[in-house]
Amino acid sequence: MPTWLVHGFRWPRAQIRIHIILQNLDDAAPEWLMAPATVACMVKNFKDQWPETMAQLPHLQLIEQYDPDDFTVKDQPYAYVCDIVHEVKLGVDVDEIRGNGLGDEQWAAIVELRDKVAPGEKLGWFVVVNGDVERWAPPLQDDDATPEASQLGRKSQTSSVLQLDTPLTPEPERPSTSRSLKKWFGGKLRKTKRQEQSTGLLPPSTQPTYPPQGSRTIFIESQNLENTANMSRRDFLSMPAPENYVAGLGRGATGFTTRSDLGPAREGPSEEQMKEMLAKRAASLGQAAPSAYGVTEKKEEDERDDDEDRFQDPDNEVGLFSSGMNYDKDDDEADRIYQEVDEKMDKRRRARREAREQKEREEYERNNPKIQLQFADLKRALGGVSEEEWAALPEVGDMTGKAKRAREARLANARSYAVPDSVISAASKSGELDTSIPTGDADGMTTNLASIGAAQLSALTVRLDSAASAPGTQTSTTSGTATSVDPKGYMTALSKKEAMGEEVPVEDINRARVLLESAVKTNIHNGPGYVALARLEEVAGKIHTAKKVIARGCELCPRSVVVWEEAIRLNRDNLHNAKIIAANGIKQNTKAVKLWQAAIELEQTPAARKKVTRQALDHNPQSVELWKTLINDTEELDAVRLLFAKATETVPLSEELWISYARVSEPEAAQQILNKARKAIPTSWAIWIHACRLQEELGKVEMLDTIMTRAVKSLIKENAMIKREEWIAQAEICEEQGDKGTATAIIKATIGWGLDEDDERRDVWLEDARSVLNRNKPETARAILGFAVAVFPYSTTIWHAFADLEKHHGTMDTLLSVLERAVNACPTSESLWLLYAREMWQSGDPEGARKVLGRSFEALPGNEMVYTRAVDFEVDAGNYEQARSFLQVARESAATDRIFMKSAVLERQLGNYETAIDICNQGLQSWPGSWKLHAIKGQIYEQLSKLPEAHEAFNIGTRAAPKAPVLYILLSRLQVKQGAIVKARSTLDRGRQQNPKSDQILLEQVRLERRQNNISAAQQLMAGALQQCPTSGLLWAEKIMHLEGRTQRKPRALEAIKKVEKDPLLFVVVARIFWAERRLDKAATWFVKAVTLDSDFGDAWIWYYKFLLQHGTEEKLQDTLAKVALAEPKHGEIWQSVAKDPKNARKSTEEILKIAVQVAE
């Protein structure tokens, strides 16, 4: 029993029959779609009708469900049209099959096919069971089918859905009860066609052979078989038999057939011969001759059937033992008894069988009525159709395949082609005689395509210029380089033009008119059709026709509100007519609030509007919109309050009316109103929020948290609690409207709703705060972070986020207050102490900053970061002696290489080079591997022009810290300055061996060759470097800007960005490329991307500021300087070279930026 998991839709049987009839599909069987011929016919029909749809459904199948044990119906009420069919053998993973999914085009195709053949049916997955795919049954015994038809076995009738490779075992026949009983008792069966063939009554050419059960059917031509047998016969066997010779007659043998015979048996003796033989044998035995083979004489027709059926069936044993055996009266009596039993059984069940057959016939006719019976009631209804309605029926389309083929044949034989103008001109001049000399002027027969393109471009330019100058559009200039058109305003302007009938193609209007006229004629009661046709006529400029169309729609569709609304709109130019139309529409639709609103809009005075509104409320007292209209038209405050009281009494479930009522009332009355509203609508959260806002307006801020806590409890009790995200959105709305206390109360009461203690609540709240800040709602973010620090008081991450919020959106006092709370909660946090001290220093309170650092010394004794920050503060303040003292204490109590480096740098900045060298030597005694101390020592010697000492310091540093690429680079540059190019290459090669993946050393090697104008060697080195470090932005930037031509820079930049996804240096390179091409908008975009990606990368700020100096505005320059000062960048090749120069030691970030812009090339 096959079982399939299919994806598709059900196709009702009635729609299948209608489709086959309408499409004139003669080869399709509507009752069984799985037949091969039907499948081929239906798929071909689908492909002919919808080729584009069927192109996406190459594996479309038609599946039937069937229960062979159900004899009440012959088919099911629907079949399945499937694009995915999976046969279930033993078991199947349904999720895996469904998880494969469908492509968008295949899904759209099956949906479109469903809408065409079975609209409204469900599209999804089904399990289909079919108990008999072939639905094969053996032929009836009384059937007069041809022998060729009887030769068709089950294998020839196998469905196209399942092709079985194993032999099929034929099902046993199911004879009737009476015939089976007769056969069991040895009775005689009625002759069948197979028995006629076996006895030779049919011609040999029409007699089939039957193989044993379970084997495959093999047909052998009888002529070939006979020829094969003749080859082995002897000569006398081929001679004709003597006259009246009957083989085996003397010994009483008779002819019969078996299942193993390949051909029919010989014809047996005739009746007269058998009687004569039996009589002779009885006489020889001294017995009486039996009458008619031992059976009582019956009617002549029974005897004739008896003689013909005798020896036909090999299972029929009647008469086999009548010759050569004693056949006495007891046997004759037994045959008569069996015959009487069979007749009695047949009579007893005849009435029941006939009643069952009649019931089955009636049931079948009821489930499968004929087409004429299905439409009988509709035909009777046609008697009431008038002649005008008959005349108004539209012409039917040609839906038959025969007419379609005929039409295609006519079109194929009547093809026409457009002849070019040049051919017509040449034919007209073929017979002319012209003696003039042709000039070089054009003959007017050639089309200038360039002029057409130029005209189209000019028209587009005019439309864009007019759109840009229209009052609804906005233009903005970026750096004076480009003008952009507001797309929303431009599209709105075009929509208005089309609505007014401008530039609408006449062909489109005509086609739409034909379609809409056909729609309203086909369905005269379709209101939207009249509306669409009227609007089309309005667009075409035919206002009078549009009014006639909509008037016709009002007449035929009096219950359609949209039709009446459109009629009122089209007649607004004549208020009198519009009011009459509105009155007629309201009479037909008294509950239509939209019609009442349209009628109110037609009134010109407030008194008339109120009058119509009251009439509308008499018919629609539950309409909130009508109550709002009446209240808005009322000017007296007392009258408004009375109307609100009546409205809330009539519509007690309207939140909007209750809240509006509270807003126009006095505070005390508003509280009572909100209490009534809360009781009327206990599931409303908006009423609680408004109550909280009312208390804030009254100055009772301490009540806000209490009200929101009660609100949450009440809503949870009523199972009406909304999501946490929705509460945050409501808090943002309150903040936007000025109720910041309410926003904070909402966050405190609801920010933890739906979050368990096991969830990552800290990360969730931080993300919520970032999202709210992105929407520019700092008060809500402040409430979220305030609640978060209350729950996680020891989280430095939350305190930093809180401090950053106050720094950007708060005041200095609030920032310092938050930092004070932070260091008290987290006294061991180094970053919080340093942030607190820095912000205190920047606030203009150096004494307060020193006190903060003093407190940090107590909380973090011996912390080098605290000492270095204290030194920075004293240096910025110019207290160098105090800074020296701090560093001296630090070298004694918290001696680290960084402390020694800071000390040496300070002495270097102050010009005490010998002291700086001594400090470096002291530090190198404790930390010989500190590459920064080696670098500072060498740079001091180089600054003093002591190149040999500098060379020795750098060389010692490379051996003490071989993994520091900077030392190799400094040494190589010093050697180049000395003119030792070969030694510089050797130094970089040695550094490359120690640091094979260092892009800094690889870049320095390339630059060394490029500075020596050895471009080919530089390119080779760059190729090897990119193989070692394919994701290095430094190497790609050098290659693009210095080793590629201008035409190849953009492709190389695209390749680099694909390999290095997010590198600010590459973004700067792309921006510089667009800058060089004068594509300033794109250059500015990429510069912004670079500084946004990494605000700590100083080189991006340098190039961006340099770009703005040439193409930006003063406002943009000031804004960029402020952002740079806030970001305080620390990295970047150009930035570090300028910032770490001792000459720029005490310069601000803005000053360093301006100096670096002069250095950048």
pTM, full prediction? 0.51
The letter for the amino acid at 720 is: A
Max mean pLDDT range (341-350, 874-883, 1038-1047): 1038-1047
Count of Cβ atoms closer than 10 Å to residue 569 Cβ: 17
DSSP letters of 647-683?
A: HHHH-TT-HHHHHHHHHTS-HHHHHHHHHHHHHH-TT
Return the CA Rg of the chain.
Answer: 52
pLDDT in tens, 868-923: 888 878 777 777 888 888 888 878 777 788 888 888 888 888 888 898 889 898 88
Segment 706-727 mean pLDDT: 91
Average pLDDT for 198-210 = 41
* pLDDT score of 317: 52
Report the CATH number of the 1062-1161 domain.
Answer: 1.25.40
Specify whether the CB–CB gap between 1156 and 1134 falls below 8 A.
yes
From CA 424, how far away is CA 419, in angstroms rounded?
7
The torsion angles phi and psi of 1104, rounded to 5 degrees, stand at -65, -45
The pLDDT score that the predictor gives to residue 291 is 56
First to last CA, the chain: 82
- Dihedral over Cα of 615, 620, 622, 626: its sign: negative
Averaged pLDDT score across all residues of the chain: 78
Q: Worst-scoring range by mean pLDDT, 211-225, 489-503, 841-855?
A: 211-225
Predicted local distance difference test score (pLDDT) of residue 158: 38
CATH 1.25.40.10 in the chain: give the residue spans. 500-608
Q: Return the sign of the alpha-carbon dihedral for residues 523, 525, 531, 536.
A: positive
Q: Which residue has the higher pLDDT, 255 or 1132?
A: 1132
Mean pLDDT for the stretch of residues 955-982 = 92
How far is CA 1161 from each of CA 1007, 1072, 1098, rounded to the nearest angstrom? 15, 11, 15
Is residue 477 over pLDDT 60?
Answer: no
Tens-digit pLDDT profile for residues 1067-1092: 999 999 999 999 999 999 999 999 99
C-alpha span between 858 and 868 (Å, rounded): 16
Q: Where is 1024: in which H helix or E strand?
A: helix 1015-1028
Indicate left, alpha or beta for 830 from its phi (over 0: left) and psi (-120 to 50: alpha).
alpha
- Judged against a pLDDT cut of 90, whether residue 1147 lies above it is answered with no
Residue 883 belongs to what H/E stretch? helix 880-893
pLDDT tens-digit map of 427-463 = 666 555 554 444 444 444 445 555 555 555 555 555 5
What mean pLDDT is predicted for residues 940-957?
91
Residue 343, pLDDT score: 83
How many beta carbons lie within 10 A of that of residue 243, not counting itself? 5
pLDDT of residue 147: 41
CA proximity to 563, closest of 592, 522, 603, 539: 592
Per residue, the 3-state secondary structure of 128-148, as one string, reads EEECCCCCCCCCCCCCCCCHH
Taking the C-alpha atoms of residue 655 and residue 652, their distance in angstroms, rounded to an integer, is: 8
CB burial of residue 924 (10 Å; 0-12, 13-18, 19+): buried
CA distance linking residue 527 with residue 563, whole number of Å: 6
pLDDT for the residue numbered 79: 93
Could you tell me the pLDDT band of residue 642, with boundaries at 50, 70 and 90? very high
* Residue 1143: DSSP 8-state: G
Domain topology for 500-608: 1.25.40
* Tens digit of each residue's pLDDT (9 = 90 or more) over 651-696: 999 888 998 999 888 988 888 999 999 899 999 999 999 999 998 8
238-245 contacts at long range (C-beta below 8 A, 24 or more positions apart): none
The highest-confidence range among 23-32, 465-474, 1031-1040, by mean pLDDT, is 1031-1040
| Cβ 36 vs Cβ 98: under 8 Å | no
In terms of DSSP bridges, do strands 61-63 and 475-477 run parallel, antiparallel, or are they unpaired? unpaired
Cβ(575)–Cβ(602) below 8 Å: yes
- Say how far apart CA 250 and CA 265 lie, in whole Å: 19
Nearest-angstrom CA–CA distance, 58 and 83: 8
Measured distance CA(1091)–CA(473) in Å, rounded? 32
Instruction: Provide the CA 948 distance to its chain's centre, in angstroms.
Output: 71
Nearest CA to 79 out of 158, 1, 20, 164 is that of 20
Amino acid in position 549? V
Residue 636 Cα distances to 113, 631, 642, 760, angstroms: 62, 10, 10, 55
* Element at 126 (helix H, strand E): strand 123-129
Residues 76, 74: Cα–Cα separation, whole Å: 7
Q: What are phi and psi of 86, to 5 degrees?
A: -125, 120
Task: Give just the sign of the alpha carbon dihedral 393, 397, 399, 401.
Answer: positive
What is the predicted pLDDT for the residue at 862? Answer: 75
Question: What pLDDT is attached to residue 585?
Answer: 92
- For the chain, how are helix, strand and coil distributed in percent, rounded to 5? 65, 5, 35
- Region 484-505 average pLDDT: 49
Residue pLDDT, tens place only, 120-146: 888 888 999 988 777 755 554 444 444
- Measure the CA–CA gap between 704 and 697, rounded to whole angstroms: 11
Higher pLDDT, 778 or 193: 778
Which tens digit of pLDDT belongs to each residue from 837-866? 888 888 888 888 888 888 888 888 877 788
Cβ atoms of 1008 and 976 within 8 Å: the answer is: yes
Give start and end residues of each alpha helix (H) in 1062-1113. Answer: 1064-1076, 1080-1093, 1098-1111
pLDDT at 883: 81
Total H helices, total E strands in the chain:
58, 6
CA distance 976 to 958: 17
pLDDT tens-digit readout, 569-582: 999 989 899 999 99
Query: Who contacts 997 (Cβ-Cβ below 8 Å, separation ≥6)?
Result: 1028, 1029
How confident is residue 421, by pLDDT bands cut at 50, 70 and 90?
Answer: low
Top-confidence residue, 528 or 249? 528
pLDDT of residue 554: 93
Q: How confident is the model at residue 927 (pLDDT cuts 50, 70, 90)?
A: confident
Average of per-residue pLDDT across 50-77 = 85
Residue 372: pLDDT over 50: yes
pLDDT of residue 800: 93
Residue 597: the pLDDT is 92
